[in-house]
Structure 1
Amino acid sequence: MEPMKLSFGVLIVYLNRAILQMKDPRLASNGTKYTIRDAVLGAFSMFFMQSESFLEHQRHMNSNQGKSNAQTLFGMIKIPTVPQIRNILDEISATALFGVFNHVYQSLRREGHLKPFEYLGGLLVALDGTQYFDSHKLNCKCCSSRTHKNGTVTYFHSAILPVIVAPGQSQVISLAPEFITPQDGHQKQDCEVAAAKRWLKTHAPEFQGQAITLLGDGLYSHQPMCEQVIASGMNFIFTCLETSHTAVYDWLKYLDGIGEVKKLEVKQWNSNSSELYSYQYVNGIPLRDSQPAMKVNWCKLIHTRQSDGEILYENSFITRHELNEQSVPLVAAAGRCRWKTENENHNVLKTKGYHLEHNFGHGQQHLAACLLTLNLLAFLFHTVLHLTDLAYGQIRLKRVTRKGFFQDILSLTKYLLFESWPSLIDFMLYGSASTLVANSS
């Protein structure tokens, strides 16, 4: 059977497939008025619509009309309350949802939607950790903790949120997260690099046969992490600064003294000003003093506005990509676009309606992680629709702001009943009454 092309309906199918694999942790004697499916779809719908009040509006619509958009758009049967959703999701591991990210990724790849993201002969995946919950009181076994000088303790949750990025692309494509959380059998508190290694071990097989370059900050540019990246069949471009890599810079000082560090300057006009891109690079230097030492390639970029000499950007990277006059600008641009994981991912999730740092629920087991994962899936689904659905893209362009778009869909679904997601999009684009369910009047 030929795979279905990506659409909102197919994305919901992927989510439902994951839900079907979940085991209900509740005992048969417990009240099970609401299914896991209704709880998961209910939470997802609130993130997708960017409104905690969405389900409340749909319960009201259901009582008046006998049907609601929670059913027609998302396939829910009954509409649980937010506390009921939290109670159910607290017992469900977020990892049960990770397969949805891979299904979406493979579909995007198969249908050619990743072509605009191809760079350096493959794809760039940026790794970066972020905190998504903190409290001085609430805590669970999955919390990390930070003790302050005054003796107070902050409990927090954080995770690595990998995304596919590319220079010149405003969108990023979310991949399955990896949670930074205390590990069984380990005395030390978990850290971002250890979580990144787990992510590699779990998800590298999904990219088999594909050229993937990982991007990361200076936390990642140490030999154990670099070795695991290479062993996973991937490449890397990691930030490498003198303050943290004295051995590398001792070699660079020596090589520069004998003329082995190569230099390249490229002038370019940007926004009516002349700018200078100055590169330095060298191949095959040891990453550390101790043996065996991995050989890496190093480059530095200084981006300057020539009219006043202001440095607009400066950074250094290590990689296993061979560096020459043709490749060093590309490698530096790839390393530089790691910032997209902050600007186009973390910041969008925190400030553009997804409220990443808002405490939607902490729970005692899996709730915080499960809710974060559903929030990421909502963000991913909207990104996919922007890439694959022409009508959706036209509405987003027409509405200009993300906030205005979500205000529109929330207002429409509060008062009008639509037979499907395409019907809602058609109504927003063309204002056709034929897309409404007959009894919505």
Structure 2
Amino acid sequence: MASRIQEKKHLSFNSLRKSLSQHINASTDSRKSSASQYAHHDVVMSGFACMYFQDPSLVQFQQRLETSRGRNNLQTLFNVHQTPKESQMREILDNLSSESFAPVFKDFHEKLRRHLHLKEYEILPNIIMCVIDGVQHYSSKSISCKCCLHKTHKNGDKTYYHSVLQGAIMHPDKRQVLPVMPEAIKNGDGKEKQDCEINAAKRFVNRLYKAHPRQKFILGGDSLMSRQPLIEDVLNKNMHYLFVAKPTDHVYMYEWLEAFPELPTTEYVDEKGKTHRFYWQNNVPLNGGADAIKVNYLEYQQIDESGKVTFKNSWVTDIEITDKNIIKLAKAGRCRWKIENECFNTLKNQGYNINHNYGHGKENLSFNVYLLILLAFYFHQIFELTDGAYQVCRKRNGSKRYMWEQLRSIITFAVFETWNELLAVVTDPDEFESSIIKKS
């Protein structure tokens, strides 16, 4: 029985939901009291519930359920007192400061850290890895705002879009990725030059440090990030870095490396006969400038039984490389793909639908909807990591997609007092049938 599995109370649905509610209530409601038909909390939590159950029409279905049953699951599960209409929900979310959500990400991170769940994510002793990458979450050829980025096509048409620089904590051996508060990539008032990932990365580093000043991070990223100004920003915040370094982006550094007769090397052969070979060199100039910083270079090659190199990648870092840590560092560098596969791909194609047009608004609607989706994803990642009942429910339903289809279906005609009660019903349908008989 899912309901009988011991849960970790500090990371249970109820605990996380209460924490989210507290932060929403603590944020500023800029609306005039005469226009505040719906409580600030009810609007945000209703929007979050839609993303949590991956159903844009959830509020509408719950209003129908309230009409027939006198109450609904928004009230029992999300502590919503008055269910807002969809149009009003969009308007209020549009005017909400996106910074209101930053304390939620910080709080969840601290809950995981305090109860030692982040120990599983340590790449090196007391150091965890946060990978950053950009992702687009809104696009239109006609609707835009002052913050929109834009791309002009060859035929003169423009595409307007919103993007963020997303960070996520990850580990080569962990399937779950843990998002942190992203940095919006957006144009500012009066600025002719568009915002970009590298500028957003500088702001992200500052935000991450302010949120978690005592946490030791390795910041991971693609070759775009392995530039001296960003590296200096990372080091100034007492963080480490592990950035991809392509030969085409770092010609001087690779010429410098080629001057060595040979580089330190280690390798091993796995059970399938593949050779995993690692090269490194410490104290290498990143570029040919007089003030060039020194970096430590590592390269990984995967070689098949015939001697053909089937995969190759290289990185730069500030961490001194030895034969004792190079395999760990290379594995950490390779796990950067998880932000694309386990995070962005999941958000796009596994029910969260970040590319769905939930509305653009005039101020913050697009980014706030993305943040609500990201928080829903964060809830689910925490449950996959720590919640036995959730894990059993997933296993018995075969796939995440089918499990959520079941959950969405059931909450359209039945009201549940707790999240665990709902999970128990999906895990054990026979119990649900017997409970219906008892209530009838």
Counterpart in the other structure of 1:264 = 266
CA contact (8 A) 2:397 2:427 kept: no
Counterpart in the other structure of 1:147 = 152
Distance 2:286 2:61 in 1: 58
Counterpart in the other structure of 1:84 = 88
Moved more, 202-211 or 368-377: 202-211
Counterpart in the other structure of 1:357 = 355
CA contact (8 A) 1:44 1:378 kept: yes
Distance 1:436 1:367 in 2: 41
Give the TM-score, by structure 2 length. Answer: 0.94
57, 61, 64: which is aligned to 1:57?
A: 61
Distance 2:393 2:25 in 1: 33
114, 120, 140: which is aligned to 2:118?
A: 114
Counterpart in the other structure of 1:400 = 398
Q: Indicate the structure whose relative CO is greater, using CA pairs within 8 Å and at least 6 residues apart.
A: 2
Q: Does residue 99 of structure 2 align to residue 95 of structure 1? A: yes
What does 1:361-380 align with in structure 2 at a 5 Å threshold?
361-380=359-378
Q: Does residue 220 of structure 2 align to residue 215 of structure 1? A: yes
Distance 1:75 1:267 in 2: 55
Moved more, 207-216 or 134-143: 207-216
Secondary structure of residue in 2 paired with 1:142? coil
> 1:281, CA displacement in angstroms?
0.9
- The runs of 5 or more residues in structure 2 that have no matched partner are 1-7
Distance 1:310 1:43 in 2: 52
Counterpart in the other structure of 1:292 = 291
Counterpart in the other structure of 2:278 = 279
Paired letter, 2:124 = L
Secondary structure of residue in 2 paired with 1:297? strand
What does 1:239-258 align with in structure 2 at a 5 Å threshold?
239-254=244-259, 256-257=260-261
Counterpart in the other structure of 1:301 = 300
Task: State the Cα deviation string for residues 247-295 of structure 1 (Å, max 9, x = none).
Answer: 21121111x23x4x212222112xxx21111211100011121121111
22, 25, 29: which is aligned to 1:20?
A: 25
CA contact (8 A) 1:197 1:225 kept: yes
CA contact (8 A) 2:240 2:317 kept: yes
Distance 1:414 1:440 in 2: 17
Distance 1:15 1:291 in 2: 50
Moved more, 289-298 or 418-427: 418-427
Paired letter, 1:117 = Y
332, 343, 346: which is aligned to 2:344?
A: 346
> 1:389, CA displacement in angstroms?
1.4
CA contact (8 A) 1:423 1:436 kept: no
Counterpart in the other structure of 2:39 = 35
CA contact (8 A) 2:146 2:189 kept: no
Distance 1:145 1:198 in 2: 21
Summarize the Cα distance change of 1:142–1:370 in structure 2 as closer, same or farther, 3 Å threshold: same
Number of residue equivalences: 431
What does 1:129-208 align with in structure 2 at a 5 Å threshold?
129-184=134-189, 186-208=191-213
> 1:93, CA displacement in angstroms?
1.7
Task: State the Cα deviation string for residues 105-154 of structure 1 (Å, max 9, x = none).
Answer: 10011112222211122211100001111111010111011111211111
> 1:4, CA displacement in angstroms?
6.4
Summarize the Cα distance change of 1:413–1:4 in structure 2 as closer, same or farther, 3 Å threshold: closer
317, 335, 345: which is aligned to 2:333?
A: 335
Distance 1:341 1:49 in 2: 22
Distance 2:264 2:42 in 1: 60
Moved more, 375-384 or 417-426: 417-426
Distance 1:414 1:438 in 2: 18
284, 298, 315: which is aligned to 1:317?
A: 315
Distance 2:372 2:346 in 1: 15
CA contact (8 A) 1:418 1:437 kept: no
Paired letter, 2:395 = L
Summarize the Cα distance change of 1:398–1:437 in structure 2 as closer, same or farther, 3 Å threshold: closer
CA contact (8 A) 2:129 2:219 kept: yes
Task: State the Cα deviation string for residues 172-227 of structure 1 (Å, max 9, x = none).
Answer: 01111110001356442111111111111122133323321011001110111001
Distance 1:16 1:243 in 2: 49
Counterpart in the other structure of 1:412 = 410
Secondary structure of residue in 2 paired with 1:114? helix
Distance 1:157 1:437 in 2: 46
Secondary structure of residue in 2 paired with 1:5? helix
Counterpart in the other structure of 2:14 = 9
Secondary structure of residue in 2 paired with 1:133? strand
Give the TM-score, by structure 1 length. Answer: 0.94
CA contact (8 A) 2:149 2:160 kept: yes
Moved more, 213-222 or 141-150: 141-150
> 1:13, CA displacement in angstroms?
1.4
Moved more, 110-119 or 164-173: 110-119
Counterpart in the other structure of 1:428 = 426
Moved more, 181-190 or 375-384: 181-190
Distance 2:388 2:118 in 1: 16
Distance 1:158 1:435 in 2: 48
CA contact (8 A) 1:262 1:281 kept: yes
Distance 1:262 1:136 in 2: 52
